[in-house]
Amino acid sequence: MMFPRKIYEEEHLMFKSAFEDFVNKEILPYNLKWEKDQMVSKESWQKLGENGYLVMQAPEKYGGLGLDDFRYNAVFTEVLGYSGCAGPAVGYPLHSDIVAPYILHYGTDALKDRLIPKAISGEAILAVAMTEPGAGSDLQGMRTTAEDKGDHYLVNGSKTFITNGYLCDACVTAVKTDPTLGAKGISLLVIEEGMEGFTKGKPFEKVGLHAQDTCELFFDNVKVPKENLLGKTGEGFKYLMTELAQERLVVALGAVSAAEGVLKHTVEYTKERMAFGKSISKFQNTRFKLAELASEVAVARIFVDRCVELHNEKLLDGANASMAKYMTTELQCKVADECLQLYGGYGYIWEYQVARAYADARVQRIYAGTNEIMKELIARKVLK
């Protein structure tokens, strides 16, 4: 980062240093194995929990730290993104900052008492299931249904591309409680591991994010107790729209941090790589390319920092969150591509961090709402 940052205070920087040490000890050494396993280990979740890094905003009565300061969550996501360990960098923040808030904000006391302590300790891994084989960004087109049976709902359908899906112990699931009402017929249910009829597919073989256990979920007459309803029936779409601003900010934080990380590795590599008798960092093309990327990343970082400040003050709106997600994920892909080119043939070898950065970046423009949807949301604000 070339521009001085003023967003963090001393306590945030101390937290960052401690978490960097944790990542270097407990995540980086195991990432290649996790990529081969197609998932991070459950032990890694428990180590995060033991050190207080999961669902940090949860009240102390559940065993959380009660941190009403999103900057700690931002640091957590930044450090993971910068590390280049994309599977953990996606799955851990999703658990704490995207899924847990649904339960904390809309869950019944009984549900929170049962799940939040386990989510904090890492004993329970959380996922969110919105996308279906025939319904991605168009959530109103989903077909998974939940029929009211009095004391429970009967859920049928399937979800796909679910982050943390294979390991999840509890999944916030978007369902149609009234298929005739469109968006007003969508509700959110927490479906838990062990419920009869709830099954999972094997993790997908993906282009990138190899350490992420992304999979399909299947619901065949799954009985879900009424206490697992989040908020009110038919209010699910509204809850999703409310929480998506934070989700998109989390994606932006990971994207700009990943761009910073791969750029740093590339700067170091160009100083070491020799061509025509000198370091390639001495060639004008290399110098100008790195100057361009460093400038764009610095600008993106400043905007994302401002979004974090606004979010901390409860002032970040959906349009600005969409701008952050759109801009940073496009830039992440550009930086990874341009940096790979500077590595030459070695950039296409998996053991080099730039190769994994290139493969991992592409999906960022798709999930949490495609960047085409981000542009539509931004345009609505611009043209209002």
Same domain, 270 and 254: yes
Give a yes or no: residue 153 inside a domain.
yes
The Cα 261–Cα 254 span in angstroms is 10
Is residue 268 part of the annotated active site? The answer reads: no
Identified catalytic residue from 78, 132, 216, 247: 247
C-alpha dist (Å) from residue 6 to 9, 13, 71, 143, 153: 8, 11, 12, 46, 49
Dihedral Cα 141, 143, 149, 150, nearest 10 deg: -30
Global pTM value = 0.93
pLDDT at 242: 87
Same domain, 165 and 250: no
Of 98, 124, 150, which residue sits at a domain end? 124
pLDDT at 310: 96
Give a yes or no: residue 356 inside a domain.
yes
**What range does the domain containing 117 cover?**
10-124
CATH number of the domain within which 41 lies: 1.10.540.10
In sequence order, what DSSP letters do the residues of 315-361 get, joined into one string? ---HHHHHHHHHHHHHHHHHHHHHHHHHHGGGGGSTTSHHHHHHHHH
In sequence order, what DSSP letters do the residues of 172-189 get, joined into one string? EEEEES-TTSGGGGEEEE
Task: Please give the average pLDDT of every successive group of 10 residues along the chain, which has 384 residues.
Answer: 79 96 96 95 96 96 94 97 94 96 96 97 96 74 91 95 96 94 93 97 95 96 96 93 91 97 96 92 96 96 96 94 98 98 95 95 93 95 92
Give a yes or no: residue 80 inside a domain.
yes
Same domain, 318 and 225: no
Give a yes or no: residue 3 inside a domain.
no
Look at the chain and report how many structural domains it folds into. Answer: 3
User: Of how many residues is the chain composed?
Assistant: 384
CATH number of the domain within which 345 lies: 1.20.140.10
Same domain, 185 and 101: no
The Cα 117–Cα 136 span in angstroms is 31
Q: Are 132 and 193 in contact (CB under 8 A)?
A: no
Q: Of 8, 176, 153, 163, which is closest to residue 76 (Cα–Cα)?
A: 8
